[in-house]
Amino acid sequence: MHRKRVAAILALAAVAGALVTGGCVSAATKPPAAATASARAAAATGGTANIMIYAVNTDGAYWHAVMSGVIGDYGPAVSIYPDGQVDPAHNSELDLRLTHGSFRLSVAALNKKFVTAASHEPIYPKTCTDLISVTGTTPIVAGSGTGAYRGIRGSFPVTLTLNEVEARPCQPSPGAFRAQLITVAGSGTIWF
C-alpha cells in the first residue's frame, strides 16, 4: 500500500510540475505590457516617409498618393480649401485620404512657384511640349491628421514636375493637352 501511495504522490507531483512549468513558459513568452507599450511608442515616434502624388491626364482636383517608409499607405488625394471644399486651382491644401487615415499638406507656396514657372508655356514651342519642375516644402497642416495619422507633424521637401504634350494649335490653356503626367515626390521626416 505504501508503494501505491508513493506512486500516486509522484504522479500528482509530475502533473503539478507540468502545470507550473507550463505556466512559467507561457509567462516567459508573453512580453510585459510595459514593454509592449514602450515598443509601440518607439515605433510611433517618426522617421523618414517617402511620398509620391500623381495625376495622369487631368488638371483636376483629384490625384493619387503612395507612401513608403515610416508610413506604408496609399489612396486618393484631393486639392481642397481649408474649409474642405474642393479647390480646382490647387492653391491651398492637398488632403491625402489614405487607407489608414488622412492628413493635409499645405501646397500654396509650391503652387505659386509652379504657376510662375508655367507662365512661359510652351517650354518647347517646336514640339508643343512642356517639362516644368519646381521644388519646395509642403508642411503637414497642424491638427489635420485622422485615424493612424492623428497628431502627425513634419514636412516634405518635394519636387513638382509636369511633363505634357499640348494640343495644337500650340496655345496653352487648361485641359488643352494630348498627354500629361504631374508628379509631386520627395522624402521628409515626420512624427505621429
- Residue 47 grid coordinates: 522617421
Say yes or no to pLDDT of 3 above 80: no
- Mean residue pLDDT of the chain comes to 83
pLDDT of residue 171: 73
Nearest CA among 151, 131, 134 for reference residue 45: 151
More reliable by pLDDT, 185 or 4 = 185
> Contact at 8 Å (CB) between 175 and 59?
yes
pLDDT of residue 135: 98
CB burial string 128-146: b at 16+ within 10 A, e below: bbbebebebebebbeebbe
More reliable by pLDDT, 54 or 23 = 54
pLDDT of residue 156: 98
Residue 109 makes CB contacts below 8 A (sequence gap 6+) with 136, 137
Q: Are strands 47-56 and 62-69 parallel, antiparallel or unpaired?
A: antiparallel
Each residue's pLDDT tens digit, 9-43:
434 343 334 333 444 444 444 445 544 444 444 45
pLDDT of residue 19: 36
Task: Give the pLDDT mean for 38-65.
Answer: 83
Confidence of residue 168 (pLDDT cuts 50, 70, 90): confident
pLDDT of residue 58: 93
Each residue's pLDDT tens digit, 67-80:
999 999 999 999 99
How far, in Å, CA of 128 to CA of 121, rounded?
A: 9
Residue 54 makes CB contacts below 8 A (sequence gap 6+) with 63, 64, 181, 182, 183, 184
This prediction's pTM: 0.75
How far, in Å, CA of 186 to CA of 53, rounded?
A: 9
Q: Which amino acid is at 153?
A: R
H or E element that contains 185: strand 177-191
Each residue's pLDDT tens digit, 90-149:
999 999 999 999 999 999 999 999 999 998 888 899 999 999 999 999 999 999 999 999
Phi and psi at 121, nearest 5°, equal -70, 150
pLDDT of residue 172: 67
How far, in Å, CA of 154 to CA of 105, rounded?
A: 10
